[in-house]
Amino acid sequence: MLPYRRLVVKIGSNVLTQADGLPDVARQAELVAQVAELKRQGLEIIVVSSGAVAAGRSLITLPPRADAVRSRQLLAAVGQVRLLSRYAELLAQHELLCAQVLVTKEDFRDRQHYQNMQNCFQELLQCGVVPIVNENDVVSVTELMFTDNDELAGLVASMLNADALLILSNVDGIYDGDPSRPDARVIEHIAPAGPDLSGFVQATRSQFGRGGMLTKCSMAQKVARLGISVHIANGKRDGVLPALLREEVVNTWFQPSKRASGTKKWLAHAQLTQATVHVNAGARAALLASGQATSLLPVGITRLEGEFAKGDLVRLVDEAGHPLGLGLAEYGADKARERLGQHGQRPLVHYDYLFLTAAD
């Protein structure tokens, strides 16, 4: 049995949708029964569920030539009520209570919103409630939408310090080629410093979802770098969740790196920066040196773009403009400019508040 206690389970659109685009009610009931089984074993479960648009499609007929964005908002708004009601009814059959959590990308970018959500989730879990999470499609517009619910699930897993993220798709995992080919095989283990998967993972989107396997891989590797196990498995298989935890079903496991702090997990996804800090080659090498905890000192900074205050999020780039990471400033831009290039000064970004995105 895998040693997990807190799980984020992401259920994709293709798992909860039939070939005709309507909801697969039987599959949803089967998955809820699996969640209930895991709850009885003492695990904490957070569900990130797609399927609102399909549920809406079963309730309302759209006029021809309807606007795509508005149609999605309409279907999601109507369908979310039906989707959650069905979850509530199914969980009640197992004497479990669920809660609806609708979020936008901005909620994860603002530190206060982030902590408020974190506190709410913690309280729900403490009371034994199963949170059902989805994007608030009614207020999300194109530039502020999550890439898909895989991205949302990764954010939730990071925020809640989950032991594992289980992504349920309609395939058994990541294949080493086109899954339709008879010689294609599932890659069962991807190490922290594993290969670039873009060469053989298909970039096509799923039939009913917004994302595809390539976006799943990218997100999974990012979450695994934060110290969280990620599994991609086939949600159409009966009993897949308990079988996965018993290591009895084929899946792709992204092995986690050393666990990152809560602040670093937020930094990994909080991309709304106030300014850009350019560093020289020496600082770049020091920051990216393997196995070392290095803060950003003024001596390694060449220039600053934009204004920022103490506690603001800043973006770090090298001399060629390549991104290195994100961090929280220990003091404002005025003091930073005074200390530019000087030895013996306090770090502008302390290691504890620095998340590196580049690799040496």
Judge if 184 and 333 occupy the same domain.
Answer: no
- What confidence score (pLDDT) does residue 218 get? 84
* CATH number, position 196: 3.40.1160.10
Q: What is the pLDDT of residue 112?
A: 79
Is 153 contained in some domain? Answer: yes
Does residue 224 lie within any of the structural domains? Answer: yes
Q: What is the pLDDT, as a whole number, of residue 214?
A: 80
Q: So what's the pLDDT on residue 198?
A: 61
Look at residue 1 and tell me if it is in a domain: no
The residue among 215, 243, 264 that closes a domain is 264
50 is in an annotated binding site: yes
Verify that 290 and 157 share a domain, yes or no: no
* Whether residues 99 and 195 fall in one domain: yes
280 and 146 in a single domain? The answer is no
Q: Which of 231, 264, 297 is the last residue of a domain?
A: 264
For 185, residues 6+ apart whose C-beta sits below 8 A from its C-beta are 175, 176, 177
CATH number at residue 317: 2.30.130.10
Task: Using the predicted structure, report yes or no on whether residue 164 has a pLDDT greater than 70.
Answer: yes
Q: pLDDT tens, 62-71?
A: 888 878 878 8
Look over the chain and give the mean of its residue pLDDT values, rounded to a whole number. Answer: 88
pLDDT value at 186 more than 90? yes
| Confidence band of 91 (pLDDT split at 50, 70, 90) | very high
- In terms of pLDDT, which residue wins out, 91 or 176? 91
Cα(57)–Cα(78) distance, rounded to whole angstroms? Answer: 9
Average pLDDT over residues 53-67: 86
Mean pLDDT of 82-94: 97
Q: Are residues 206 and 325 in the same domain?
A: no
39 contacts 45 by C-beta, under 8 angstroms: yes
Tell whether the model's pLDDT for residue 121 goes beyond 70.
yes
Question: Within 13 Å and on the Cβ side, how many CA atoms surround 353?
Answer: 16
Residue 88 pLDDT more than 60? yes
Q: Are strands 164-169 and 252-254 parallel, antiparallel or unpaired?
A: unpaired
Mean pLDDT of 344-355: 91
Q: Do 69 and 89 have their domain in common?
A: yes
- Tell me 17's DSSP state: B
CA 276 to CA 283: how far, in whole Å? 15
The answer on pLDDT for 199 being more than 70 is no
Domain edge (last residue) among 233, 264, 295: 264
Q: Is 13 annotated as a binding residue?
A: no
Is 240 found in the same domain as 197?
yes
Q: How many domains does the chain have?
A: 2
Statement to judge: residues 252 and 320 lie in one domain: no
Q: Judge whether residue 290 has pLDDT over 60.
A: yes
**Between residues 63 and 290, which one has the greater pLDDT?**
63
Residues 6+ apart with CB under 8 A from 73: 137, 138
Instruction: Reply yes or no on whether the pLDDT at 193 is more than 80.
Output: no
Which pTM was predicted?
0.79
What's the confidence (pLDDT) of residue 146? 72
Residues 19 and 135 in one domain: yes
Q: Would residue 289 be called left, alpha or beta, if left means φ above 0 and alpha means ψ between -120 and 50 degrees?
A: beta
* C-alpha–C-alpha distance, residues 31 and 86, integer Å: 12
For 100, 155, 157, 224, 325, the CA distances from 162, given in Å and listed in that order, are 19, 10, 5, 11, 23
- Across the range 13-28, mean pLDDT stands at 93
The pLDDT of residue 14 is: 93
Task: Give the mean model confidence (pLDDT) for residues 155-171.
Answer: 94
Beta bridge partner(s), residue 78? none
Residue 170 assigned as binding residue: no
Is residue 342 located within the same domain as residue 243? no
| Structure confidence by residue, pLDDT tens digits, 314-344 | 999 999 999 998 888 999 999 999 999 999 9
CA 301, distance to chain mean position in Å, is: 32
Decide the pairing of beta strands 164-169 and 6-11. parallel
Structure tokens of 132? Answer: 């059902």
Which tokens hold the place of 282?
């020496």
How many percent of the chain have pLDDT more than 90? 59
Its domain, for residue 191, covers 6-264
Looking at the structure, do residues 191 and 113 belong to the same domain, yes or no? yes
pLDDT in tens, 292-312: 789 999 999 999 999 998 888
310 marked ligand binding residue:
no
